[in-house]
């Protein structure tokens, strides 16, 4: 009997569904692999349905900003290209614009959950003001709200 171990399976880039036992010319699917696959699928489903505010909290850097990356853009239902293309010319730092977009998204799209996200927004606003020596981030946040209104008009 030839047994393909979990390590062999992963090292050779097999799918979990391909985890098999070869015995006497018969191919059988290993029940453990099938159970593991079902468990992994359930875990993935839970991860995908995680709350938007929670996921934004996970993506926020300790310093208070968000990076302009694929994870953030997907969470906001945008592409990184859309995020970049709406950035005002005077904003040179992608982190600034990504942070402004997240703040605007929370304020406009999730006002009923303010108690959950207001500390994240405060930390992000503090970062914007301290990092860039601003006394008021309102103009940038206004630009971000306008950009979101264009990019996500019906949501």
**pTM, rounded to two decimals:** 0.68
**What residues contact 137, with CB distance under 8 A and at least 6 apart?**
100, 125, 128, 129
Domain spans, the chain: 2-48, 52-151
Report the pLDDT value the prediction gives residue 67, as an integer from 0 to 100: 98
At residue 142, the pLDDT reads 95
The helix/strand/coil state of 44 is helix
Do residues 83 and 68 lie in contact, with contact meaning Cβ atoms separated by under 8 Å? Answer: yes
What 3-state DSSP class applies to 28? strand
Burial pattern 12-41, b for ≥16 Cβ within 10 A else e, equals eeeebeebbbeeeeeeeebeebeeeeeeee
Query: Per-block average pLDDT, block size 10, for the chain (155 residues)?
Result: 49 45 48 54 54 96 97 96 94 94 96 97 94 83 95 78
User: What stretch of H or E contains 22?
Assistant: strand 20-23
């Amino acid at each position: 009997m030839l047994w393909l171990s979990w390590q062999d399976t992963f090292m050779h880039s097999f799918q979990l569904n391909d985890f098999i036992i070869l015995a006497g010319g018969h191919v059988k699917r290993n029940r453990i692999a099938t159970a593991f696959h079902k468990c992994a699928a359930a875990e993935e489903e839970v991860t995908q349905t995680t709350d938007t505010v929670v996921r934004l909290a996970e993506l926020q850097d300790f310093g208070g900003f968000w990076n302009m990356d694929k994870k953030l853009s997907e969470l906001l239902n945008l592409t990184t290209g859309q995020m970049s293309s709406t950035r005002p010319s005077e904003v040179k730092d992608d982190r600034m614009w990504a942070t402004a977009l997240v703040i605007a998204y929370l304020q406009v799209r999730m006002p009923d959950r303010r108690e959950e996200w207001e500390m994240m927004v405060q930390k992000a606003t503090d970062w914007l003001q301290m990092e860039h020596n601003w006394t008021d981030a309102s103009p940038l946040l206004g630009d971000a709200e306008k950009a979101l209104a264009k990019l996500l008009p019906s949501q």
